[in-house]
Amino acid sequence: MFIHASRRAGCCLTVLALASSGLVRADDCGQYEAIPTFVWTLRAPELLTGDAGETVKEWTTAEILTCGLQSGEDGAQGWSMLVKLTNAVPVEATTDGTSAAPSPDGLRQNGFERTRLYDSVICGRIAATACVLSFTEDVTLDPGSPHDVLRVRFEAKMPLEGEALVGLELPEECGHIREVEALGDGGGGDQPIGALVTYRGSSYRPVLTSRTLRIAPHVFRRGDVNADARVDISDAIRMFMYLFLGAAEPPCLDALDSNDDSDVDLSDGIHILNDFFREGTGIPAPGPFDCGPDPTVDRLGCRAYDACS
């Protein structure tokens, strides 16, 4: 890996480069001496939330940044790329919506593209793509801007409490890979493929980066419908306004489900009132006082609950 302070090229992006000594922060193309240098990154949200124990799905997008060349010059003609996940499993891989898609949506014209999920002994289940933009036309990735080239959907299981990390990585290679037959077209060989860019007919090793994202169950106070950090009669009224008077849906439906029976209905508003005026009603975990995750998985969800942050 070449990480030197030298020529400043016309492209700027913050990337995390994975060096043998660990993570090295790179602020722009200026630190790459070799011309051209192809920097690969993965984009994804920094935080995923859901119910405790729930399996959530999210996309990550792989991007190629070309350093050392100007817009209008030749760029990458083709590439092969692997995406490996830690603590998550890829379930879908596609070039739809990226520069690797067929023209006119993408740049590919009379080229080649194969994108699949594979199993490898070294990396486990991975997403892999190979793309040649064109065999007959002079089509390349313009160095003037980064290009999306692959989208990978993955599944991750929410921890029951606390936070967990999902690792997203662009490995150099994963040894022999075998297509996941149930998800692909059943074909595929046993070829080792690695991370590679073709530029003017020659092979280049890209700068490979990795990143982590946090996954954590959303936390809330059960019964706090208006999200003001306490449960009182206003919450019951706000619930009835939502259920019967057309008021906007509160952002954390789990908080509305005051009896935790996986539905939001009249009984939840009554349950809040009973909790005040009748002994022993009880509001199930995490309860009305403490912030915590929903211990029972349901379809309600909690888009936002700021009173715990």
Binding site for Ca ion (CB under 5 A): 224, 226, 228, 235, 257, 259-261, 263, 268, 294, 296, 298
Place of tokens 């929903």: 294
Crossing angle of helices 233-244 and 266-277, in 10° steps, is 170
Name which of 148 and 228 has its Cβ closer to Ca ion.
228
Name which of 124 and 301 has its Cβ closer to Ca ion.
301
Q: How far is the CB of 303 from Ca ion (least distance, A)?
A: 15
Stretch (H or E) spanning 94: strand 89-94
Please measure the distance between the N-terminal and C-terminal CA atoms of the chain and give it in whole angstroms: 40
Q: What is the spatial distance between Cα 149 and Cα 142, in angstroms, rounded to a whole number? A: 13
Name which of 39 and 253 has its Cβ closer to Ca ion.
253
Place of tokens 């809040």: 272
Name which of 142 and 235 has its Cβ closer to Ca ion.
235
Q: How far is the CB of 52 from Ca ion (least distance, A)?
A: 9
Q: How far is the CB of 304 from Ca ion (least distance, A)?
A: 14
DSSP three-state, residue 31: helix
DSSP three-state, residue 256: helix
Name which of 161 and 261 has its Cβ closer to Ca ion.
261
Q: How far is the CB of 193 from Ca ion (least distance, A)?
A: 44
Name which of 179 and 294 has its Cβ closer to Ca ion.
294
DSSP three-state, residue 308: helix
Its sign, for the CA torsion 265, 270, 273, 279, is: negative
Q: How far is the CB of 145 from Ca ion (least distance, A)?
A: 45
Q: How far is the CB of 56 from Ca ion (least distance, A)?
A: 15
Neighbours of 65 (CB within 10 A): 25
Q: How far is the CB of 82 from Ca ion (least distance, A)?
A: 38
Q: How far is the CB of 305 from Ca ion (least distance, A)?
A: 11
Its sign, for the CA torsion 139, 140, 143, 147, is: positive
DSSP three-state, residue 232: coil
Name which of 28 and 232 has its Cβ closer to Ca ion.
232
Name which of 59 and 289 has its Cβ closer to Ca ion.
289
Name which of 39 and 236 has its Cβ closer to Ca ion.
236
- Alpha helices (H) in the chain, listed in sequence order: 233-244, 253-256, 266-277
Q: What is the spatial distance between Cα 64 and Cα 308, in angstroms, rounded to a whole number? A: 38
Q: How far is the CB of 294 from Ca ion (least distance, A)?
A: 4
**Which tokens go with 279?**
């002994």
**Residues in CB range of 44: below 8 A, 6 or more apart:** 58, 59, 60, 61, 168, 211, 213
Residue nearest Ca ion, CB atom distance: 296
